[in-house]
Structure 1
Amino acid sequence: MAHKSDLIASDIDAYLKAQEDKSLLRFITCGSVDDGKSTLIGRLLYESKLIFEDQLSALEADSRKMGTQGDKIDFALLVDGLASEREQGITIDVAYRFFSTDKRKFIVADTPGHEQYTRNMATGASSADLAIILIDARKGILTQTRRHSFIVSTLGIKNVVLAVNKMDLVHYSQQVFSDIEIAYRAFARELGGIEHITAIPMSALEGDNIVERSERMDWYNGPVLMEHLETVAVRDDSQAKPFRMPVQWVNRPNLDFRGFSGFITSGKIAPGDRIKVLPSAKESTVARIVTMDGDLSQAASGQSVTLTLKDEIDVSRGDTICSAGNPAEVANQFETTLLWMADEPMFPGRPYVMKIGTSTVNATITRPKYRINVNTLGHEAANDLDLNEVGVCNISTDRPIAFDPYSENHDTGAFILIDKITNGTVGMGTIHFALRRSSNVHWQALEVDRSARAAIKGQRPVVLWFTGLSGSGKSTIANIVDKKLIAVGAHTMMLDGDNVRHGLNKDLGFTDADRVENIRRVAEVAKLMTDAGLITLVSFISPFRAERRLARDLMADDEFLTIFVDTPLAVAEQRDAKGLYKKARAGQIKNFTGIDSPYEPPENPEIRIDTTTTSASEAADEILRELTRRGIVST
């Protein structure tokens, strides 16, 4: 007699085999809190009879958890299970659920409606063909409805189901439904981008207009939800677009084989086709299309393959292989629409990691051109972006990357931003176009380089970056070090925080955003000083690790030393030579580091000075000894 688990496994195999010829629809459910998303998804799973939650191998456990009896699913237990997931916080990440009917198979991205989880909704929408936007019939269109609709439009989802739910709680009123539909269509017209809206009045709890037509809303003549999901035409024109394959892996198991593996995001490719590798612009011809099942005569979007080329050209992970006749663009500066997804605001000038396709580069964001008000769709002036805010910003990268405008190719025109310190995703965006100056401004090669300028001075250039609280003694110690370096014949330049704010940075205040820009400018100046062969002493509070990392990343590994002038806040406040702490405590100075603006201590400084046990002169001597030990100066 067959074991029960064997029967389940065979059922799964048979089920999957039956799904192979069915078309797939990816969709997302979104809307505001308590609009009924869990109930709707529960109803769809209940009516589909078979559930495959995330892992097909968990079918037996899921059937017990969800109350399955044979092929009958208890609807109340199912919805309770989904609601329980939300209560346990599982919906912090997107839950993808799989189900099917006789006509089609589906993957639904189940995301929470809470405002703080908008980033999860955007993640789910990024791969969806259709969006079901739920509205509580009692509440009508809310801010979160507009925000989610805006994201749906921005991400290029053309098909929307306006699911006016909980009609049972408004006595199945045609007028209520009609008013909501008219208001939403008016908003969508202003929004643009959404081509097809199907409005359906329903009650997910009671099952009205989900699978069967509701007798209680006989005034409605449109399709029921499942009918629409089974028949809606989803345009997939990816194969008609130019060929694009971001390189994931360079495959060279032996000297006789060198292939380039990746997922084809658009277009078709065949042996003999001419290709161009970007950003290098090297060209070659496809020799073979290799897969685990053998060579192919043609491959198209949606397939993972390995290409071999007829020429030995340089190709690396992060490059993009394109059709030679219609390649992607290459640039390092772009206009973008950016959705900010982090609790900490986006600060212009702060460095982030940008991931687009398989390419990873360093990126900085300029001050936003404007913030988009999701309620009015108006453009508002902004200095930064907070959690869930959307803005249009320019972004620059540290090297050119291949891309297509998002309107032409979603895969090669979308990106995420990653925080360098936490490695968390802080933003996602779409590229509009390359900035003209990106192709017009070129690096000018100079015949006299930095090594020549340093050699004539007989020293190694380096940045000595003094950081610490106001009143810690940074400038005092840096000045003594400067004098001692001059005394031994070194060529130096001192950049002091107060002095720079009288000139270069006199337009900046002390908000967190202005502090970021303050350090960005000083870091660029310090780099120019090292290019001149100088030992550059920089004395700035520089409270944020990210900006100190930006400064360090501009220099070579051995040309940047962090000197942490470590003074406890209480001690710095006791000194208070300028009376600044007293004013900050009295509320006369806003955004003062240590009081109402944070200071993030360096984690691994090259030199740490404890000013509670070390005098300024002793500290300077300690720094000179370290510079001599490293061969930067000779004393």
Structure 2
Amino acid sequence: MSAVLNTLIHDDEVDTQHRALRFLTAGSVDDGKSTLIGRLLYDSRAILADQLDTLERRAAGQPIDLSLLTDGLEAEREQGITIDVAYRYFATKRRKFIIADAPGHEQYTRNMVTAAAGSDAAVVLVDITKLDTTVDEVQLLPQTRRHSLLAHLLRVPSIVFAVNKLDAVAQPGPAFAAVAKALNAFAAQAGISIAAIVPVSALRGDNVTQPLAADWYDGPSLLQVLEGLPGVQEKVEGQLLIPVQYVAREGEGTGNQPRTLWGRIAHGQIKAGDEVQILPSGEKALVAELRRAGETVEQAVAGQSAGLVLDRQLDVSRGDWIVTPGSATPVQSFEATLAWLDTEPALPGRKYWLRHGNRWVQARIAAIEHKVDIHTLAEDPAQQLNVNEIGHVRIEVQAALPVEAYASNRVGGSLIVVDPTSNRTSGALLVR
């Protein structure tokens, strides 16, 4: 046996039409998320030989527990649950993948939100053994609904449902059809666009990497679905938006030394000679020079980190924004969807710290318009938002921010909420 069962596939062996796919797995406790990821790693031969040897020794002749490939914390192994987000990497001849194994327990929903914020796709597992598939309308688990709704609110582009543990039911065909019907009904009610509904057995490996040999299903395997999903592409066309991360001054001394404004382009493109505007000051200047990775370049586009040298000295610092002149208007009040993650409830009138891009600003919840009932998706009146609840709120900030709708841009439309007393990350704001 070689030292490594499989090395990472070279870039030239991967289909250049598909960028690496970042996806998360979510669902309720014990739905088999970690086992599914372990199966993907095992079947794609992305496990180091010493890891495999350790699993085989621990199994002592029994089937290997593939969930241990992701449940790395001692508390996770002791309790048999996933607590923190675990990231794993593997590749096929068609594509590279970055997997985020999100916790299923309700108290760790905040970790799932963290994983979803940067994902191109979400694989929501549904444990078919926990559902009564004999009734006309199958009732989904609350966590299945919550995680699906969160992924949808966080604008995860592709949502895939993996109906797991088909090996544990007597009639998998009718049972899968009943669950798929319930998932389609829920998605239609919530306005969720489903990329695929796939039957799998993570434990046995059915339909994970190889198509299922069954007369009741002739669709793709889970891996085939993932290989074909689109990756999130930053908007190259349109207005420029750059959150300033760092301001570097070159050379010794003070005075007129050139300064470089560094940041990752959220959307749009920039080239030398373009006019830009700095927010919140509103000052304008021309781009005298553009830099990337220590070299002078003619152009940079969304998704790239770039350094801008302006034709005149302006007061610019970390947290400012560089935009196309007139394309953004800072506001001090806006409406947003709030996913609340703190055990202390969100209350109208209470002050919090918000982070927008690289800027921190004080703010308060001016009003809670309503909260979303995850069971019925109804909009119910609310005086506060408790942990794991989702609501529609109005925010007032101390200093104006150039926010934009989260649906059009994740960077300009997302903010995190921090409790000033405990310094806990309390919530995620998605501008409406």
Give structure 1 regions of 4+ aligned residues with deviation exceeding 4 angstroms.
Answer: 11-22, 59-68, 88-91
Q: Does the CA-based 8 Å contact 1:158-1:196 persist in structure 2?
A: no
From the superposition, tell whether residues 91 and 320 of structure 1 become closer, same or farther in structure 2 (CA, over 3 Å). Answer: farther
* 1:39 and 2:30 correspond: no
From the superposition, tell whether residues 359 and 64 of structure 1 become closer, same or farther in structure 2 (CA, over 3 Å). Answer: farther
From the superposition, tell whether residues 135 and 262 of structure 1 become closer, same or farther in structure 2 (CA, over 3 Å). Answer: same
Q: What's the counterpart of residue 526 of structure 1?
A: none
* SS of residue matched to 2:64: helix
Q: Does the CA-based 8 Å contact 1:48-1:101 persist in structure 2?
A: yes
Q: Distance in 2 between matches of 1:318 and 1:79?
A: 41
Q: Once the 2 structures are TM-superposed, how far is the Cα of residue 268 of structure 1 from its aligned partner?
A: 1.1
Q: Does the CA-based 8 Å contact 2:271-2:287 persist in structure 1?
A: yes
Q: Once the 2 structures are TM-superposed, how far is the Cα of residue 62 of structure 1 from its aligned partner?
A: 4.7
Give runs of aligned pairs for residues 39-78 of structure 1, distance below 5 A. 39-51=35-47, 62=51, 65-66=54-55, 76-78=64-66
* 1:80 and 2:71 correspond: no
Q: What's the counterpart of residue 26 of structure 1?
A: 22
* SS of residue matched to 2:315: coil
Q: Once the 2 structures are TM-superposed, how far is the Cα of residue 15 of structure 1 from its aligned partner?
A: 4.9
* 1:133 and 2:140 correspond: no
Range with greater deviation from structure 2 (310-319 or 34-43): 310-319
Q: Does the CA-based 8 Å contact 2:187-2:194 persist in structure 1?
A: no
From the superposition, tell whether residues 359 and 100 of structure 1 become closer, same or farther in structure 2 (CA, over 3 Å). Answer: same
User: CA deviation digits over 1:283-318, x for unaligned, max 9?
Assistant: 111111113341111111221121111122221211
Q: What's the counterpart of residue 93 of structure 1?
A: 84
From the superposition, tell whether residues 139 and 271 of structure 1 become closer, same or farther in structure 2 (CA, over 3 Å). Answer: same
Q: Once the 2 structures are TM-superposed, how far is the Cα of residue 157 of structure 1 from its aligned partner?
A: 1.7
From the superposition, tell whether residues 14 and 128 of structure 1 become closer, same or farther in structure 2 (CA, over 3 Å). Answer: closer
Q: What's the counterpart of residue 103 of structure 2?
A: 112
* SS of residue matched to 2:412: helix
Which structure has more RCO (C-alpha within 8 Å, separation ≥ 6)? Answer: 2
Q: Does the CA-based 8 Å contact 1:259-1:308 persist in structure 2?
A: yes
Work out the number of aligned pairs and report it.
Answer: 410
Q: Distance in 2 between matches of 1:223 and 1:18?
A: 22
Q: Distance in 2 between matches of 1:291 and 1:67?
A: 47
Q: Distance in 2 between matches of 1:35 and 1:77?
A: 14
Name stretches of at least 5 consecutive residues in structure 1 with no aligned partner: 52-58, 69-73, 433-635
From the superposition, tell whether residues 278 and 65 of structure 1 become closer, same or farther in structure 2 (CA, over 3 Å). Answer: farther
User: CA deviation digits over 1:181-219, x for unaligned, max 9?
Assistant: 111111111211x3343011111111111111222x321
Task: For 1:109, give the aligned amino acid.
Answer: A
Task: For 1:387, give the aligned amino acid.
Answer: V
1:246 maps to which of 239, 243, 246: 243
Q: Once the 2 structures are TM-superposed, how far is the Cα of residue 88 of structure 1 from its aligned partner?
A: 5.3
User: CA deviation digits over 1:379-416, x for unaligned, max 9?
Assistant: 11111111101111111111111111111111110010
Q: What's the counterpart of residue 236 of structure 1?
A: 233
Task: For 1:161, give the aligned amino acid.
Answer: V
User: CA deviation digits over 1:249-281, x for unaligned, max 9?
Assistant: 111133432110111111111111121111222
Q: Once the 2 structures are TM-superposed, how far is the Cα of residue 245 of structure 1 from its aligned partner?
A: 0.8
Give runs of aligned pairs for residues 413-562 of structure 1, distance below 5 A. 413-432=413-432
Q: Distance in 2 between matches of 1:271 and 1:182?
A: 54
Task: For 1:153, give the aligned amino acid.
Answer: H
Q: Distance in 1 between matches of 2:268 and 2:87?
A: 27
Range with greater deviation from structure 2 (108-117 or 246-255): 246-255
Q: Once the 2 structures are TM-superposed, how far is the Cα of residue 14 of structure 1 from its aligned partner?
A: 7.8
Q: Once the 2 structures are TM-superposed, how far is the Cα of residue 23 of structure 1 from its aligned partner?
A: 1.8
From the superposition, tell whether residues 306 and 19 of structure 1 become closer, same or farther in structure 2 (CA, over 3 Å). Answer: farther
User: CA deviation digits over 1:488-522, x for unaligned, max 9?
Assistant: xxxxxxxxxxxxxxxxxxxxxxxxxxxxxxxxxxx
Range with greater deviation from structure 2 (327-336 or 90-99): 90-99
Q: What's the counterpart of residue 338 of structure 2?
A: 338
Give runs of aligned pairs for residues 46-445 of structure 1, distance below 5 A. 46-51=42-47, 62=51, 65-66=54-55, 76-83=64-71, 85=73, 86-87=76-77, 91-140=82-131, 141-192=140-191, 194-215=192-213, 217-254=214-251, 255-324=256-325, 327-432=327-432
Task: For 2:90, give the aligned amino acid.
Answer: F
CA RMSD in angstroms comes to 2.5
Q: Distance in 2 between matches of 1:257 and 1:199?
A: 55
* SS of residue matched to 1:211: coil
Q: Does the CA-based 8 Å contact 1:46-1:75 persist in structure 2?
A: no
Q: Does the CA-based 8 Å contact 2:241-2:323 persist in structure 1?
A: yes
Q: Does the CA-based 8 Å contact 2:70-2:101 persist in structure 1?
A: no
* SS of residue matched to 1:412: coil
Q: What's the counterpart of residue 583 of structure 1?
A: none
User: CA deviation digits over 1:434-469, x for unaligned, max 9?
Assistant: xxxxxxxxxxxxxxxxxxxxxxxxxxxxxxxxxxxx
Q: Does the CA-based 8 Å contact 1:333-1:395 persist in structure 2?
A: yes
Q: Once the 2 structures are TM-superposed, how far is the Cα of residue 35 of structure 1 from its aligned partner?
A: 0.9
From the superposition, tell whether residues 299 and 20 of structure 1 become closer, same or farther in structure 2 (CA, over 3 Å). Answer: farther
Q: Distance in 1 between matches of 2:299 and 2:125?
A: 42
Q: Does the CA-based 8 Å contact 1:29-1:134 persist in structure 2?
A: yes
Q: Distance in 2 between matches of 1:169 and 1:276?
A: 61
Q: Distance in 1 between matches of 2:78 and 2:349?
A: 38
* SS of residue matched to 1:112: coil
Task: Give the TM-score normalised by structure 2.
Answer: 0.88
* SS of residue matched to 2:309: strand
Task: For 1:87, give the aligned amino acid.
Answer: R
Task: For 2:400, give the aligned amino acid.
Answer: P
Task: For 1:332, give the aligned amino acid.
Answer: Q
Q: Once the 2 structures are TM-superposed, how far is the Cα of residue 77 of structure 1 from its aligned partner?
A: 4.6
Q: Does the CA-based 8 Å contact 1:43-1:75 persist in structure 2?
A: no
Q: Does the CA-based 8 Å contact 2:160-2:197 persist in structure 1?
A: yes
Q: Once the 2 structures are TM-superposed, how far is the Cα of residue 67 of structure 1 from its aligned partner?
A: 5.4
Q: Distance in 1 between matches of 2:287 and 2:52?
A: 49
From the superposition, tell whether residues 295 and 376 of structure 1 become closer, same or farther in structure 2 (CA, over 3 Å). Answer: same
Q: Does the CA-based 8 Å contact 1:331-1:402 persist in structure 2?
A: yes
Q: Distance in 1 between matches of 2:37 and 2:355?
A: 32
Q: Once the 2 structures are TM-superposed, how far is the Cα of residue 19 of structure 1 from its aligned partner?
A: 6.2
- Highest Rg: 1 or 2? 1
* SS of residue matched to 2:107: helix
Q: Does the CA-based 8 Å contact 1:319-1:402 persist in structure 2?
A: no
* SS of residue matched to 1:406: coil
* SS of residue matched to 1:103: coil
